[in-house]
Every structure is written in C-alpha cells, then in structure tokens.
Structure 1
Amino acid sequence: MTAAVAAAGVLLAVQASVPAQASSSSRFTLDSDPILFVHGYNGDAGNWNTMADRFRADGWPSSHLRQWTYDSRQSNTVTAQQLSTEVDRLLAATGATGVDIVSHSMGGLSSRYYLKNLDGTSKADAWVSLGGPNHGTDTANSCFDVSCTEMRTGSSFLTALNSGDETPGSPRYATWWSPCDTVINPDSSVSLSGAVNTRTACLSHMGLLTDATVYAQTRDMINR
C-alpha cells in the first residue's frame, strides 16, 4: 500500500466518523418565528399536541408555540379579528417581528381572512393549511353554524376570500391535502394559486395533524 493510498483511507475513515449535521430548517434558531396554531371546526388547542411536541423536540421553546382555542361556531370573520389579537400578543410576548401560522381545516379560512383583510401580511412570514376547505367542501352542507355555512362551496364568504390574489402579500403560503381525506370534498379545494401545494400519503383529515412526514415538511417550510 502506498503512502498516498493509506492517507486517503485515513481521510475517508475520518469523514465517515463525522455525524451528519441536521439541516438548519429542522432546528430552532434565533431567526425562527413563533408559531400560532389555528384548529378547525369543532376542534380545540389539544388537536396540536403531537405537532407542538415535535416542534419542542426540535428546539422550539414553549413560549414560541401558541396552541389557540376559539369558538369555531362563530363567523370566520369574527375569529379572524380575535386571531389578529392573538398574533399581536404572541409577538409582544416573544419580541419577534414575524409569526408563522399553521392551520388545520377551517382554521385556514379565518387565518386567510386575517392575512387578506386585517393587515396580517405585514406580520406573518409563513402560512400553512393542512386540509383546509379553501374552495369549499360538500360536508359543510349538513351543518348550520355560521362558520360552517361559510365553508360551503360558492358561499359569499369564500367567493370574497378567493377573489383576486389567493395568496396576497409577502408571506410564504403552503397547503397539504390528502387523497383519503373524506372531510374535504373535493380534494382540489385545498390548493391555492400561488402556494406550494403538496399531496400527502393516504391520511385521514385528522391524520394530517399527527403524520411525521407532514410535520417535517411543515417545519422545514416555515423555518426557512
């Protein structure tokens, strides 16, 4: 064995012993935004327990993870106004200048209203919709709360929300939809023009909240 070959072997052995470094998007840094989680119809803050725990495991402090509960029977316009207050509280508590909004199901509608109509685009860096009825769902035809009727395809609320630019301002928008989600029909309702729209594996509507792959993709999208 020549000296050069031996040296090369030593170098390869050293390189192999160095552990792979996690990508910057997979860990909390000083530049990471606080996250506001917005549940869907008939949900609550507990819906986010699995995802929030995963963010904590990746370094996010609890102070930067706001699992918010609101009255999901009220109009999404009312919820959007309350969401605006929650964003301001989270920014004040953390000293951050921007927030990431991660929504599930109907939570995507109030948060989109906030971005479009309540100056939310100036405070949000990223917005995520997991199984959101962004263009309506036929399952809303069987419920009659104000918020639920707003989820119906062709409702005046959705018509106004989707008019013009569906992803206004500077925030990064992303949606995830499952071909096995029986709550959002049709599947195409979730995707938005101007967003990064991702098809998941065969997941249930609630499974979008606990799937490890969806979590990792969400984390890396918002933490760029």
Structure 2
Amino acid sequence: MNITTKPNPVLLVHGINDTATVFCKMSPQLARKGWLVHDIDLTPNNCSRPLDYLAKQIANYVEKTFPPEQPIDIVGFSMGGIVSRYYIQRLGGIDRVGRFITISSPHHGTVLAYLLDRPGSIQMRPDSPFLADLNRDFAMLDRINFTSIWTPFDLMIVPPTSSQLLVGRDVQVPVALHAWMITDPKAIAAVVEALSEDIRQHHPLGQTPPPQKLPSIDSNI
C-alpha cells in the first residue's frame, strides 16, 4: 500500500439483485491489507425503485456511520457504481469521497436494461434522461481519484465499453464474466491499486451542483 497515512474507510456498494455478501472475497482481502471495510444492502435491490432513491440510502449511511471530517473511498459494482455516482455528483458525496472506483458499471447504459420495465432499469438504458443528466457534468469526477475497472468480455454491460468514462483512470482486465469482476484476483488487484493511489488533488468543499429535477418515471410501465 502506497498510502503514507491511515487509509480511508472503504464503502462497498453492490449491484442489481445482489446484497453486500457478494463482496465475500474482496472484502476480507481489503481488510487484510489494512482497510476498514464497510458495506451496505440497498433496498430494494431489484430496480423496482429509482436509482436516486437508492443513492439516498448511501447518503444516509455515510452520514450516520462516519464523522463529518472523515473522508471515505467508495467501490461500486455494476448498478452500485451508478447509484454511487448519483450520491457523489448530486447528493454531496463529492465533498466526502477521496477515491471512487466503479467496476463494470453502465455509465452509458446497457441494452440488457430493456429486459426489465422497472424504474431503476429504465434509468440504466442507453441515452436515458437519468444517465444523460449524470454524464453532462461527469468531468466533476476529476476532482477526486476516479477509476473505472471493466472487462471487454462483459455480457451484462452491453456494449462493454459503456463502462468507460473520459475522466480518471481506465483499467481493462481480461475477466470472462460480469459476476467474476469482484472475485477474480486480477480485478481485486486493480481495486487494491486504485485504493492505494495518493489523492491527486484537494477540492474545496461546498461546491456540489444542486440536484437536477429528472423526468418522472412511471413504475407501471
């Protein structure tokens, strides 16, 4: 670990239809390397509520768990990366997070989201208003250490390049399956490396853009 001071606590955020137990391999490995690891069970986890609703759960967890002066790092897997982005970009997380890592997250949507007509999955469709809103100012992620880890073989994030953003570090790992991205040694090593990076720059507090009003989503679609 290249961190010269005590590392930030790490919050792990799972994907659709998962719980925090999905990090059963990553979490203990990070703990053995010196990180204090936290996780959260997003409810509901099946996209039956909008992703911004889930992001408020992250905001509440952070507020209740960590003192205001404590910076944290976040690792978001798949849908969890997008939920975490909303927390960071729209709910003040940009002022709390030092390192943000997404693993196989559909930053530009995935065509598989058309298989479910639920509010959260609608938001993860390509060119959705929700993603368009986040992506119009994705450059704000350059104020923190942002890393996207993804695999070109992903059959859940279609196309796989949807996991890329034109900001931060882009790390491609040759992992065969989407679900293996949080268990494969190469992917976990990439997470360790990203969490070990020195914070590149300090950003001022209190400059988070105000929340944007999104089009309403009919949950009965």
TM-score (norm. length: structure 2): 0.82
**Structure 1: unaligned runs, 5 residues or longer:** 1-22
Distance of aligned partners of 1:104 and 1:134 in 2 relative to their CA distance in 1, 3 Å threshold: same
Structure 1 equivalent of residue 107 of structure 2: 134
Alpha-carbon shift at residue 124 of structure 1 (Å): 0.1
Structure 2 equivalent of residue 145 of structure 1: 118
Between the aligned partners of 1:223 and 1:90, the Cα distance in structure 2 is: 22
Distance of aligned partners of 1:117 and 1:169 in 2 relative to their CA distance in 1, 3 Å threshold: farther
Matched, 1:67 2:67: no
Between the aligned partners of 1:37 and 1:59, the Cα distance in structure 2 is: 15
Between the aligned partners of 1:115 and 1:166, the Cα distance in structure 2 is: 12
Alpha-carbon shift at residue 36 of structure 1 (Å): 0.7
Between the aligned partners of 2:121 and 2:127, the Cα distance in structure 1 is: 13
Matched, 1:45 2:20: yes
Distance of aligned partners of 1:140 and 1:166 in 2 relative to their CA distance in 1, 3 Å threshold: farther
Which structure 1 residue ranges, 4+ long, deviate > 6 Å from structure 2? none
Structure 1 equivalent of residue 193 of structure 2: 220
Structure 2 equivalent of residue 191 of structure 1: 164
**Structure 2: unaligned runs, 5 residues or longer:** 198-221
Distance of aligned partners of 1:166 and 1:43 in 2 relative to their CA distance in 1, 3 Å threshold: farther
| SS, match of residue 133 in structure 1 | coil
Structure 2 equivalent of residue 211 of structure 1: 184
Q: Deviations over 1:93-150 (max 9, x none)?
A: xx86211000100111111111111111110001111000110000001012211111
Between Structure 1 and Structure 2, which shows a larger proportion of helix residues?
A: 1
Between the aligned partners of 1:130 and 1:84, the Cα distance in structure 2 is: 20
Give the root-mean-square deviation of aligned CA atoms. 1.7
Distance of aligned partners of 1:210 and 1:147 in 2 relative to their CA distance in 1, 3 Å threshold: same
Between the aligned partners of 1:173 and 1:183, the Cα distance in structure 2 is: 22
Structure 2 equivalent of residue 34 of structure 1: 9
Q: Are the counterparts in 2 of residues 34 and 96 from structure 1 also a CA contact under 8 Å?
A: no
Match of 2:60 among 85, 90, 93: 85
Alpha-carbon shift at residue 169 of structure 1 (Å): 5.7
Q: Are the counterparts in 1 of residues 112 and 157 from structure 2 also a CA contact under 8 Å?
A: yes
Amino acid at match of 1:86: Y
Alpha-carbon shift at residue 90 of structure 1 (Å): 3.0
Between the aligned partners of 1:55 and 1:165, the Cα distance in structure 2 is: 28
Q: In the comparison of the two structures, how many residue pairs are matched?
A: 194
| SS, match of residue 24 in structure 1 | coil
Q: Are the counterparts in 1 of residues 104 and 178 from structure 2 also a CA contact under 8 Å?
A: yes
